[in-house]
Structure 1
Amino acid sequence: MSPLSPGITGEKSVAVTIENTAIAMGSGTLRVFATPAMIALCEGCCAESVEALLDSGVTSVGTKVDIEHLAASPMGASILCKSKLVAVDNRRLDFEVEVYDNVGLIGKGKHTRFTVDADRFVQKTYAKLEK
């Protein structure tokens, strides 16, 4: 039986700094938590929640995000992502995520990852450059 099963949860947090604002990331003109930063936080949260359960040499890669950014968060705010693995289909892992700041819910959605052999994945990816 695989140690990966629905119900696995994770949490990951960051502070809003100049580096993860919309203006710094090129996704807007304001000093608020950037949508790309929220997506990266969600992907990292999901990845970290299962990483220790994967076989040696296996990792997971993100393939799909469907995340709504519902409210802005200013610099200095604390951001928390909560993830839950909701389905496992062979190598596919489907997650639900919620993102909060100091005031409340600021984002929610779904994220899909696939487990891969890390060495084989990297070799295949870089072989494209040799063509």
Structure 2
Amino acid sequence: MKKFWLFIVLTCVFFSCSDSNKSNNNPNIPNYAVNAYLNTSLPSYNNLLYVSSPVYVPNYGAKGIIVMKTGEGTYTAFDAACPNQALTSCVAMTIDGIYAVCSCDKTSYNLFTGLGGQEYPMKQYRAELSGSSVHVYN
């Protein structure tokens, strides 16, 4: 019986572990180090106090980052580079409501999920609320 429970526990641990970088690899977007603190008290980042009000932040990642509050204390952060185009062929994606739109192929990507119906989703970064700042990092 002990072997059975050990098998169950090891199986659960094995399947619950995942390599978050593996699903976030994209041959079109290099892996840049990102470590940004966005103070929601500042006018530039004040929209991050409200759900579904994304903010574009230049000078991070490949083409800047897009950050959005998705719920109480939860945020998403994605690279603004078009995930299915060569990095040099497009400018940063633009925000249209809760979507990011690629300038090259006009694909819309949902800022809750990063999905856009193409081969690669948006490149995602970690985002956590830390006091009055949103910490975006990888």
Report the TM-score, using the length of structure 1 for normalisation.
0.31
Q: Which structure has greater helix proportion?
A: 1
Higher relative contact order (CA 8 A, sep 6+): 1
Report the TM-score, using the length of structure 2 for normalisation.
0.30
- Higher Cα radius of gyration: 2
